[in-house]
């Protein structure tokens, strides 16, 4: 079990941190078969703050590993992180990524059958806005 009771899934030698991450992998394969996605890669790694030394101790680097890099047939490129729920640490890494790589597009997405597209995928921030509005209207 990983955080939030997700179980790692191993299929065809690939390990996914959750079923939803695997579902998005299948979605990307489908998009690639239909010519919408040209290429995608799993788990590209970025160094946000390199390792350094202070007071004689080596401090580990801070890294960020989104779930996917996707290149679309129209030339767009983006990095996608599939989220069930954000954490303060993931929010901080997201901000650091945006600051250190302003020229790259990072999108957090999640699955919501109720609010997502025909496959259930929706932008994480958009879903949170919808949920906030719904809570206010109750």
Q: How many CA atoms lie within 13 A of 63 on its CB side?
A: 9
Output b/e per residue, 70-85; b: 16+ Cβ within 10 A. beeeeeeeebbbbbee
Strand partners, 58: 53
pLDDT in tens, 62-114: 999 999 999 999 999 999 999 988 899 999 999 999 999 999 999 999 999 89
Secondary structure (3-state) at 135: helix
pLDDT in tens, 6-35: 778 877 778 888 889 999 999 999 999 999
How many angstroms separate the Cα of 97 from the Cα of each of 20, 31, 66, 133? 23, 26, 10, 28
């Amino acid at each position: 079990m990983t955080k939030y009771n997700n179980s790692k899934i191993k299929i065809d030698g690939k390990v996914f941190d959750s079923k939803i991450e695997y579902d998005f992998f299948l979605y990307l394969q489908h998009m690639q078969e239909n010519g919408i996605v040209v290429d995608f890669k799993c788990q590209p790694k970025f160094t946000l703050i390199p390792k350094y030394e202070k007071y004689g101790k080596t401090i580990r680097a801070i890294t960020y590993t989104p779930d996917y890099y996707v290149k679309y047939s129209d030339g767009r490129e983006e990095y996608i992180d599939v989220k069930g729920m954000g954490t303060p640490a993931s929010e901080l890494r997201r901000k650091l990524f945006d600051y250190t790589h302003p020229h790259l597009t990072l999108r957090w997405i999640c699955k919501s059958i109720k609010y997502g597209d025909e496959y259930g995928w929706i932008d994480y921030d958009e879903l949170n806005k919808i949920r906030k509005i719904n809570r206010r209207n109750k």
